[in-house]
Amino acid sequence: MDIREIAKRARVSTATVSRVVNRVPTVNPQMAKRVWNVIEELGYYPNTSARALVSGRSRIFGLIISDITNPFFPEIVQVFEAIAVQHRYEILLSSTSHDPVRMESSVRRMIERRVEGVAVLTFGMEEPLLEHLHVREVPLVFVDVGPQRPWVSNIKIDYLHGIRQAVQHLAALRHEVIAFISGPLKLKSALARQQAFLRSMREIGIEVDPALMVEGDHTMEGGMAAFAQLLEKPIRPTAVICSNDMTAIGVMRKSNEDQISIPQDLSVIGFDDIRMAQFVIPPLTTIQMSQAELARLAFDALMADVEREAPAPSGTEYVLKTNLVLRQSTRLNSAATQRIK
């Protein structure tokens, strides 16, 4: 059952059926009605492949993430998909697990499906792949790590904004010995968070003791290990800020094992605000990087490029702010309180 069948039964041409289906306003309403009736009656659904082939528009966006089981991503996928559907786009999802081979195959699949844009929410993309997409003028959007060139947008995360809030929040609670557990420092995003922490501390006149900075790996196990390291140091922090929530959850887990109560004995702050942050005990105070907002920015960036005829010569830049959300893993520093008494 195809457009010709509909045309025949509605006694119009296929062109008219096409116009009706695509809601071209110039068609005679009566005729349109007749066509719709036949469409309903026969349960006709236009064939997307044919449409894509002839129009040259696939109405598909690629979405490359590292790992859907990483709690940071589900909400992004959710929102991205919801917006896409509103715009009559489909999404081609791909998890790469940080594997360059899978990344390459993802890009290949996306090119074969002639995606109209790709959101890359991983730690960048190798030059040859970029090149393949670039010659086809496929709009791309990255988070922080995109190259400056036509058809490439970048969403810059304002780490400082939220991290400064976190530091000042702890300072207000009389914490002075504040540790920081970073992510893998070879990651640009992890490094940026650490830098923002140091800068925020400097702003309030504290020069951080290097002993209070340990490197984690953004996993729970890494958080536990990093915190264990911290406990062996001569100075004991009363608060710790973590480079992501999973790390913070690791800290909480290790604290629990060692009979360190949170927030009584130790205040903990995470980063990301993954959903799980609300479910741990106590609920985790964390720096939110809105996944919904990120998804929306990414989609809008692609959409903008699709609708542009000429690209900005060195891409477009967007900014996503981060913000502290207060929950129950931080508290007034009891040591300081006693001192005041």
Partner DNA sequence: ATGAAAGCGCTAACAC
Partner DNA sequence: GTGTTAGCGCTTTCAT
Peptide bond into 282 cis (omega under 30): yes
| Segment lying near its own copies (by CB under 8 A), choices 109-117, 162-170, 196-204, 265-273 | 109-117
Nearer to DNA by C-beta: 4 or 233? Answer: 4
Residue 172 as a binder of DNA (CB under 7 A): the answer is: no
- Least CB distance from residue 37 to DNA, whole Å? 15
Nearer to DNA by C-beta: 13 or 37? Answer: 13
Nearer to its own copies by C-beta: 212 or 302? Answer: 302
* Subset of residues 300 to 319 that bind DNA, contact rule: CB under 7 A: none
Nearer to DNA by C-beta: 47 or 328? Answer: 47
State the Cα–Cα distance between residues 274 and 260, nearest whole angstrom: 24
- Least CB distance from residue 265 to its own copies, whole Å? 15
Residue 68 as a binder of its own copies (CB under 8 A): the answer is: yes
**What phi and psi values does residue 64 have, to the nearest 5 degrees?**
-105, 120
Among DNA, its own copies, none, partner that 304 touches (CB below 5 to 8 angstroms by kind): none
Q: Which residue has the tokens 């089981």?
A: 69
Nearer to DNA by C-beta: 31 or 228? Answer: 31
Residue 90 as a binder of DNA (CB under 7 A): the answer is: no
Residue 12 as a binder of DNA (CB under 7 A): the answer is: yes
Size of the site for DNA (CB under 7 A): 27
**What phi and psi values does residue 84 have, to the nearest 5 degrees?**
-60, -50
State the Cα–Cα distance between residues 104 and 1, nearest whole angstrom: 38
Residue 37 as a binder of DNA (CB under 7 A): the answer is: no
Q: Which residue has the tokens 């894509």?
A: 52
Say if residues 153 and 317 touch (Cβ distance below 8 Å).
yes
Binds DNA by CB under 7 A, chosen from 8, 22, 85, 202? 22
Handedness of CA 209, 215, 218, 219 (dihedral sign): negative
- Mark residues 173-212: x for contact with its own copies by CB under 8 A, - for none: ----------------------------------------
Residue 109 as a binder of its own copies (CB under 8 A): the answer is: yes
State the Cα–Cα distance between residues 35 and 32, nearest whole angstrom: 5
- Least CB distance from residue 259 to its own copies, whole Å? 12
Among DNA, its own copies, none, partner that 168 touches (CB below 5 to 8 angstroms by kind): none
Residues that bind its own copies (CB under 8 A): 43, 45-50, 52-53, 58, 67-69, 71, 73-75, 77-78, 81-82, 85, 90-95, 105, 108-109, 111-114, 132, 135, 220, 249, 252-253, 256, 275-276, 279-281
Instruction: Give the interface with DNA as residue ranges (CB under 7 A).
Output: 2-4, 11-19, 21-22, 26-28, 31, 44, 46-47, 50-51, 53-56
